[in-house]
Amino acid sequence: MTSEITLSVASSGADAIDADALVLGVYSSSEGASLAPSFLSAQTVEGLEAVLEDLGISGAADQVYRLPGVEDSAAKIVVLTGLGERSEDAATRANALRYGVGSAARQLAGCENIVVAVPTEDVDDVAAVAEGIAFGAFTDSQLKEKSAEKVKAPVSSAVIITDVEADAASSALERALILGEAVHHTRVLVNTPPSHLYPETFAQQAIERVKDLDDVSVRVFEPEELEAEGFGGIMGVGKGSSRGPRFVEVKYAPQDASTSVALVGKGITFDSGGLSIKPGAAMMTMKCDMAGAASVLNAVAAVAELGLPIGATAYLCLAENMPSGTATRPEDVLTMRGGTTVEVLNTDAEGRLVMADGLAYASEQNFDVVLDVATLTGAQMIALGTRTSAVMGDDAIRQQIVDAAEAAGEDFWPMPLPAHLRPALDSQVADLKNIGSRFGGMLSAGIFLKEFVGSTDEGQIPWAHLDIASPAFNEESAFGFTPKEGTGQSVPTLVKFLETRAGN
């Protein structure tokens, strides 16, 4: 799939570019707001700055104001977007540009063409601006029929004014479009209702997503094969539904790959809690419980489109967790891939069961690194809130995820896996039970998953667990480049991690 938005750069003639909107930046400070440098004349800048205080424009994040056009530009309106406090730190500056311009692009739905004139000191700044536009230019009408015309179309064309040469910026623009498409596709999958997205159709979506990409192959494990191959976790979670589970392998294997990474994604297409049924209100966001699988699918697709010299394989652990006469019962024991037995004490702790199978299978394939991504625990929301994801696991890989997230403009916080929580997972009748102490539930879930990460002669395979439970689905107001509902969170971080591993 290709993005419908077009991105370009220009270093001169900005005043003559016909556009619906000219986006300018505003800095905040203790002395008041000020316009960020642009191509506008000193007289125009003075006029705009004269009204900032009266209009309550402070330069804070997510402040986006529309004003009438100015003589220095052919754009119909001027849009002022907050960039926060000016910073000399490159990463901080890039993240502020990505967020601020992304917020403007999101809020300018209905405007077809925009010109963006914010300070860009180098290619990294241009990349951040381009990514903000690509992430923010998104709307999703989904299954609207009679009311579809009420959904404003996203921005479809953007020109970035910069002194960075077009040739130097071209790869950054192309990367932004690829990354934007991966984020958009993830959001759409997450937003798709469970009546339309279930294991079988998700597998079909995965095939469709990568069918035109070089060096990418797909294998779908049907229920009969899962049963025969010992995927007891996926089968155990999925057997309560009339729509059977699937396990999907999406493999990108370029000939010049010097290293390989497995990405295991939780794909519960709807989570009722099973026989440990959730309260009705708690089910109302459970179409998002497959966000991990959507993220790893699109991260691999993006890496393939970028042509990175790294092997990357997504494993989608797909099941629908429903109560029925065939559903797994509390106190049932499941035999997972690899032979570990698990006593199921809470069928609403199902994500770790399907992920255990995925991790065990990935561990058999001789990857250099294994990551797993999941909307795994409500404890993540309690510990870190709605916008910060957690990462646990091998110290080195955990830090690499944190660094990748910072560079990508996302927020991941390193969390421990305390050894004293491990005994609470011991079962009287099986190797493990699927829940531990009621305290530190996010950490206990990570410790459970670690049990299924394989080892080599050098020790356990380097691994990290990403819990994106709340950040993957925005139940509150839109912010920055992030819409309501599906966010695409973790895709930029995964791609940046894989780029770094590939030496790019």
Q: Provide the pLDDT for residue 178.
A: 98
Look at the block and give the residue holding tokens 């997510």.
62
Q: If you average pLDDT over residues 45-73, what whole number do you get? A: 95
What is the separation of C-alpha 393 from the centre of its chain, rounded to a whole number of angstroms? 19
Mean of pLDDT values over 28-34:
94
Residue 182 lies in a domain: no
Positions at the binding site for Mn(2+): 266, 271, 289, 348, 350
Q: What was the pLDDT predicted at 144?
A: 78
Domain of residue 434, residue span = 188-501
Mean pLDDT, rounded, for 44-49: 96
376 with 293, same domain: the answer is yes
Do residues 349 and 460 share a domain? yes
For residue 165, is pLDDT > 70?
Answer: yes
**pLDDT tens per residue, range 397-425:** 999 999 999 999 999 999 999 999 999 99
- Judge whether 352 counts as a catalytic residue: yes
- Distance CA(407)–CA(92), nearest Å, equals 9
In a domain, 174, yes or no: no
Q: What was the pLDDT predicted at 13?
A: 83
Among the candidates 129, 163, 197, a domain finishes at: 163
**Predicted confidence band of residue 72 (pLDDT cuts 50, 70, 90):** very high
The whole-angstrom separation of Cα 153 and Cα 155 is 7
Check whether 389 has a pLDDT greater than 70: yes
* 339 occurs within a structural domain: yes
Alpha-carbon distances of 219 from 206, 216, 253, 280, 347, rounded to whole Å = 10, 10, 14, 35, 28
- Evaluate if residue 1 carries a pLDDT over 50: no
DSSP conformational letter for 482: B
Average pLDDT over residues 421-443: 97
Residue 44 lies in a domain: yes
The model's confidence at residue 463, banded by pLDDT at 50, 70 and 90, is very high
Domain assignment present for residue 177? The answer is no
Give the Cα separation of 32 and 194 in Å (integer): 48
pLDDT above 70: residue 2: no
158 and 209 housed in the same domain: no
Listed in sequence order, the residues at least 6 apart from 432 whose beta carbon sits closer than 8 Å to its beta carbon are: 340, 341, 342, 343, 425, 426, 448, 451
Q: What percent of the chain has pLDDT over 90?
A: 95
**Residue after which a domain boundary falls, among 163, 198, 226:** 163
Say if CB 388 and CB 413 are below 8 A apart.
yes
Judge whether residue 317 has pLDDT over 60: yes
Angle between helices 90-107 and 123-136 (to 10 degrees): 30
Can you give the CATH number for the domain in which 117 is found? 3.40.220.10
Say if residue 61's pLDDT is above 70. yes
Report yes or no: 191 and 138 within 8 Å, Cβ to Cβ.
Answer: no
Question: Is 170 part of a structural domain of the chain?
Answer: no
Per-residue pLDDT at 3: 53
Q: Are 139 and 207 found together in one domain? A: no
Residue 178, domain member (yes or no) = no
How distant, in Å, are the alpha carbons of 328, 342, 483, 497 from that of 333?
9, 5, 41, 37
Residue 106 falls in the annotated catalytic set: no
Contact criterion met (CB below 8 Å) for 140 and 191: yes
The pTM score is 0.97
Looking at residue 342, which CATH number applies to its domain? 3.40.630.10
Question: What's the pLDDT tens digit per position in 98-157?
Answer: 999 999 999 999 999 999 999 999 999 999 999 999 999 999 988 877 777 788 999 999
Of 352, 398, 433, 501, which one is the catalytic site residue? 352
Report yes or no on 23 lying in a domain.
Answer: yes
Tell me, yes or no, whether 153 and 20 share the same domain: yes
**301 shares its domain with 421:** yes
Is residue 302 classed as helix, strand or coil in its secondary structure?
Answer: helix
Q: At what angle do helices 291-306 and 199-210 cross, to 10 degrees?
A: 10
Average pLDDT over residues 446-468: 96
Q: What is the pLDDT of residues 351-378, one digit of tens each?
A: 999 999 999 999 999 999 999 999 999 9
Identify whether residues 198 and 145 lie together within a single domain. Answer: no
| Number of compact structural domains in the chain | 2
pLDDT for 122: 96
Give the per-residue pLDDT at 176: 98
Give the residue from 163, 180, 197 where a domain finishes. Answer: 163
Indicate the annotated binding residues. 266, 271, 289, 348, 350
Q: In terms of DSSP bridges, do strands 341-343 and 311-321 run parallel, antiparallel, or are they unpaired?
A: unpaired
**pLDDT for position 143:** 81
286 lies in the same domain as 143: no
Choosing from 66, 86, 278, 450, which is the catalytic residue?
A: 278
What the block records as the tokens of 134 is 């690509």
| Residue 442 contacts residue 415 (beta carbons within 8 Å) | yes
Do residues 146 and 27 share a domain? yes
Helix (H) or strand (E) holding 89: none
Tell me: do 260 and 137 sit in the same domain.
no
On average, the pLDDT of the chain sits at 96
199 and 106 in a common domain: no
**Residues 209, 157 within the same domain:** no
